[in-house]
A and B are shown apart, each in its own frame.
Chain A
Amino acid sequence: MKYLAASMVLLSGFTCARAGLADEVSPEIRSAALRVAVTTCATCHGPQGNSISPKFPRLAGQSAAYITAQMKNFKNHARGDADAVGYMWGMAAPVDDDLIVGLADYYSKQKPAAGEKSSDAAAIGRGKAIYTEGIAAGGVPPCASCHGASAAGTADFPRLAGQTTQYLVKQLRAFHTNLRDVAVMHGVTSGLSAENINDVAAYLASLGP
């Protein structure tokens, strides 16, 4: 528990960012963010952030603080998973701080679409157990303790509900290998097998808005 608490402080340091509260986003920035979201981001992340291809993460309803932190991590190259390097380092580079706040605000307010329901009910069941109870033997805490009971996330911890299976699996693997360097997530995923990762992803992807 001490480890978990310390990790949460560390994680807060990584992910906590000055979030744009609704009344802090000016109409000019809101308008500029809408334009960029519709004409650029949507090409991959889909209309209103509900991506069509499972390769690109859904952004609809995502935590504004988390989006802000990730955009900054793309800009300063702190986030180094493969698709971050190949796609988002370039995309985020010209985005200034005001626009980041505006985009984060925009996507946080979008209505997430239903996720992809796997036909493997057993995998979903196993994934739910891991998410809500963790794996005591493997030292894996319940994901719900940070990401929320319904995986809707909090101000600092990202929404996972309805995210694409492919993206979730890729990120969990990236945390596991430290390709994406986040200490607490590395600790969490160290105890997850490949099957565990697939099961958790199947469960999370099946969750509706």
Chain B
Amino acid sequence: MNGRIYNWTFTAALFALASIGWAPTANAVPSFARQTGMACEACHTIYPELNHFGRVFKANGYTLDNLKGVRDITGEKQEMLALTGLPPISLMVQVSGTWLSKQIPDSTGIDGRAQNGTIAFPQQISLFYAGKIAPNVGGFIQLTYGNDSGTFGIDNTDLRYANAVVLPNEQSLIYGISLNNNPTVQDLWNSTPAFGFPYAGSNANVSPLAGTQIDGALGQDVAGVSVYAFWKEALYAELGVYRSAKQGASNPVTGAAGPLDGSISNVVKGSAPYFRLAYEHQWGRNSLEAGVYGANFKLLPGANADPTVPVVPAGVTNEFKDFAQDFQYQYIGEQHLFSLAGTRIHEKMNLDASSFTGEVANATNDLTTWRIWGTYYYKRKIGGTIGAFSTAGSMDAGLYGAGAAPGVVTSANGQPDTKGWIAELNYVPWLNTKLSLQYTAYTKFNGGKDDYDGFGRNASDNNTIYALVWFTY
């Protein structure tokens, strides 16, 4: 790597405009390039956004390959083994800087002791195995080291069996099964939460209180199985179920890795259904997808350590019904790339368990999140994204509570509303390297514009500048 990368002044000098939220992880990996022998642009506009061919590659279970491998067949020429000659391994490194408009109050109570901004070196390093596992079976497996946890852990994982058949009128039907640990990680479009914009974001900013369950809250906490079909590379349908599958949890009685019992909070009761329906139309250099998706999660609250809180009867849950719409348009030209995408998620909460304990003010709440963003690149070298976002819903002073000083992550008025816009400028010197400057501006945060937490913090104080160097190789 260029030695200058280690100079934080250089990194800091990149800043312009910044970003928000979780630090989402990538779907684009050179593992696939090594396996297929195809350059990134065959499957992507700019990573990690997929183009049509990339979506079909994913739907086919990540198995397209050009490598001589280790194979075995039966006497009837049936494949028994298909190991790629080179393991499709790749690495991703993110080094970043984050600066908030106004510093967070020092936790010691005395300001002026804190560092100005956060340099993350690294923010994240991920190791991927992404590619063919066996005939018709492939996987996207990500292990991530994050500077917040300081450890390696399982990240987005999608294991698939897929097959493609020719229908009588020479049309294709791809069908398959996905095992994955994050609702929508298996989806083919970049308009759904797991691989939607922003593709990378700060983990040293202030996260809003409210978000729907399907919007990343359950990532790596659940395991799901779904069946899907992609007809004519146009109509996509999927049905699946998710169960809780938490990491680092153990059964208190046996000390074994399971089952998860009442000592663990927010365990999915039984299985949570998930569905997805999408249609993509292609014409010339354009494609337009529109779809719906959703899930229904019933979460068992688990035992409350506070003995004064009423005990929730067995089987009573907090239910989250998520229904969403999404769209994605892409124009892929020789010099110009343009895409426009968005999603709107509506969540209906039936908070029977939390109502029983008095932790929430309302037995039912609504929450709606929408995001829309447009991306442009010139010659796959320079470009950016502008987007807007909003989360709004029922006022509930229990759910979105005010807290003790210094506030920051609390809501003085019990409203979940967080709104704003985001702008990102990208320079892509090589297809596997991205330099980003991001700016996120909040017009509302945790229910308010001014003094949202009751301790004098304004929404705009959380405005974030985020500079990122992102290698994948």
- Give me the interface of A with B, judged by CB distance under 8 Å: 34-35, 38-40, 42-44, 47-48, 52-55, 85-87, 89-94, 166
Contacts and interface: CB of A to CB of B under 8 A. Distances in A.
Given A87-B38, A91-B38, 13 more contacts: A38-B166, A38-B170, A38-B172, A39-B166, A40-B164, A42-B172, A52-B284, A55-B285, A90-B37, A91-B37, A93-B66, A94-B65, A166-B334
B170 A53 contact: no
Nearest to A31: B166
A34 B60 CA distance: 17
B282 interface: yes
Interface in B52-72: 52-53, 56, 60, 64-67
Contacts of B60: 39
B38 A90 contact: yes
Nearest to B39: A86
A76 to B, nearest CB: 13
Lowest 7 A-B CB distances belong to which pairs? Answer: A90-B37, A93-B66, A90-B38, A86-B39, A39-B164, A38-B166, A43-B56
A34 B170 contact: yes
A86 B41 contact: yes
Contact of B52 (A38, A43, A91, A93): A43
Contact of A34 (B52, B53, B166): B166
B172 A39 contact: yes
A53 B166 contact: no
Contacts of A52: 282-284
27 contacts: A34-B170, A38-B172, A39-B60, A40-B164, A42-B172, A42-B233, A43-B52, A47-B170, A52-B282, A53-B284, A53-B285, A54-B285, A86-B39, A86-B41, A86-B42, A87-B39, A87-B42, A89-B38, A90-B37, A90-B66, A91-B37, A92-B66, A93-B37, A93-B66, A93-B67, A94-B65, A94-B66
Contact of B38 (A42, A53, A86): A86
B36 interface: yes
Contact of B37 (A38, A43, A47, A89): A89
B330 to A, nearest CB: 11
B52 A47 contact: no
Interface in B158-193: 164-166, 170-172, 174
B388 interface: no
Interface residues of B, number: 28
Interface string B425-463: 000000000000000000000000000000000000000
A39 B166 CA distance: 7
Contact of A53 (B66, B67, B171, B332): B332
Contacts of B332: 53, 55
Nearest to B169: A47
Nearest to A110: B170
A85 B164 CA distance: 26
A179 to B, nearest CB: 15
Contacts of A53: 282, 284-285, 332
Nearest to A92: B66
A47 B53 CA distance: 14
A81 B39 CA distance: 13
A171 B469 CA distance: 36
Contacts of A47: 170-171
A94 B164 CA distance: 18
Contacts of A93: 37, 66-67
B166 to A, nearest CB: 5
A48 B67 CA distance: 27
B132 to A, nearest CB: 11
Contacts of B172: 38-39, 42
A155 B421 CA distance: 59
Interface in B307-351: 332, 334
Nearest to A86: B39
Contact of B53 (A35, A44, A54, A92): A44
A54 B42 CA distance: 15
B55 to A, nearest CB: 9
Nearest to A106: B170
Contacts of B67: 93-94
Interface in B12-60: 36-39, 41-42, 52-53, 56, 60
A89 B33 CA distance: 12
A86 B53 CA distance: 13
Given A44-B53, A86-B39, A94-B66, A55 B233 contact: no
Contacts of B171: 38, 47
A32 to B, nearest CB: 11
A41 to B, nearest CB: 10
A189 B171 CA distance: 39
Contacts of A54: 284-285
A89 B53 CA distance: 16
Contacts of B166: 34-35, 38-39
A168 to B, nearest CB: 13
Nearest to A40: B64
Contacts of A166: 334
Contacts of A38: 166, 170-172
Contacts of B233: 42-43
A183 to B, nearest CB: 27
Contacts of B38: 86-87, 89-91
A40 B38 CA distance: 14
A172 B171 CA distance: 33
B53 A43 contact: yes
Contacts of A48: 170
Residue picked from B65, B172, B174, most chain A C-beta under 10 Å: B172
Contacts of B174: 39
A53 B170 CA distance: 19
Contacts of B41: 86
Contacts of B56: 43
A44 B64 CA distance: 14
A78 to B, nearest CB: 16
